[in-house]
Amino acid sequence: MNKIKLLFFATIRDRAGTKSIELDIPVNMTILGLKDKLSSDFPNLKESMSSVLMTINREFAFDDSIVPINAEIGMFPPVSGG
């Protein structure tokens, strides 16, 4: 298993009800797999998974990115600006 730390920001933090958690996930899980796991394990986050921005060790990550061992994963709501 791979122990990761999830950090929640802004409205994602409000929905999660905490600023961070540690989670054990399978080795070689992708960001998409992590989103699916979070949607089923934390129903309050399910609505956010289609638009959430994810980072791995403070760098933007895509759905096909593999989550490295002991990674820090950041979860941000979509950002708009002008």
- The encoded tokens of residue 67 equal 């989550």
Q: How many domains does the chain have?
A: 1
54-62 long-range contacts, CB within 8 A, separation 24+: 56/31, 61/31, 62/31
- Does 49 map to a domain? yes
C-beta separation of 60 from 24 below 8 A: no
Q: Residue 81 domain-assigned?
A: no
Tally DSSP H helices, then E strands, for the chain: 2, 5
CATH code for the domain of 72: 3.10.20.30
Task: Convert the pLDDT of each residue in 12-43 to its tens digit.
Answer: 999 999 999 999 999 999 999 999 999 999 99
For 71, list phi and psi in degrees, rounded to 5.
Answer: -75, 155
Half-sphere exposure of 78 (CA within 13 A, CB side): 6
Q: Is residue 68 part of a domain?
A: yes
> Is residue 82 in some structural domain?
no
Residue 45 lies in a domain: yes
pLDDT tens, position by position, 49-60:
999 999 999 999
For residue 80, the model assigns a pLDDT of 66
Is 47 a member of any domain?
yes
Domain housing 45: 2-76
